[in-house]
Amino acid sequence: MYSLFGGAISTQTYINCEHRNAMYGNVFVAPLMTWSLRQSVIDDQLAERELHLLRLVPLAWISEKEETIFENVPTEYGPVDLRFKKSMDGKTLDVSFLGHWREKPKTIIVHAPPIPGLSKIVINGKRFPAKKPIDLKNG
């Protein structure tokens, strides 16, 4: 995913297209980049009627200093809001999740990122051990 972002964007103009003397070229990886970014954090394609959260989230996106925010992200089930932030000691991941459902998925699964020392995940105020995927059962 990072190679798509790095290779598809001009280091001179920071856009994915070039224009020089009436010559125009476009790199059509922007949709693939956006899809990969969304699927890594909010995955509605892995299994039918399931929504997977944080399944392949890059650890660089999880910080104790700033909250990572995804708002109004389109899914097959309706828009989703997702926020997450690591505690200062690195032992807790605080996750806030809200679905604006058009059709509810059968289940929502939150994956524990492989953060060294992570012992619990707090999802919408409810505590879970960070041992295995958490099945929210439409929570």
Residue 133: C-alpha distances to residues 23, 53, 109, 122, 129 (Å):
50, 10, 6, 13, 9
| Residue, of 120 and 24, whose pLDDT is higher | 120
Give 123's strand partners: 95, 126
| Rg (alpha carbons) of the chain, rounded to whole number | 18
pTM: 0.81
Residue 20: C-alpha distances to residues 8, 24, 48 (Å):
17, 7, 46
Q: State the Cα angle at 138 between 135 and 139, rounded to 5°.
A: 80
pLDDT band at 8 (very low <50, low <70, confident <90, very high): low
**What is the spatial distance between Cα 61 and Cα 69, in angstroms, rounded to a whole number?**
10
Cβ contact 36:4 at 8 Å: yes
Residues 59-105 have pLDDT tens digits of 999 999 999 999 999 999 999 999 999 999 999 999 999 999 999 99
**What is the spatial distance between Cα 59 and Cα 88, in angstroms, rounded to a whole number?**
15
Which residues, at least 6 apart from 6, have a Cβ–Cβ distance to it below 8 Å?
none
Q: Whats the size of the chain, residue-wise?
A: 139
**What is the spatial distance between Cα 96 and Cα 84, in angstroms, rounded to a whole number?**
6
pLDDT at 38: 85
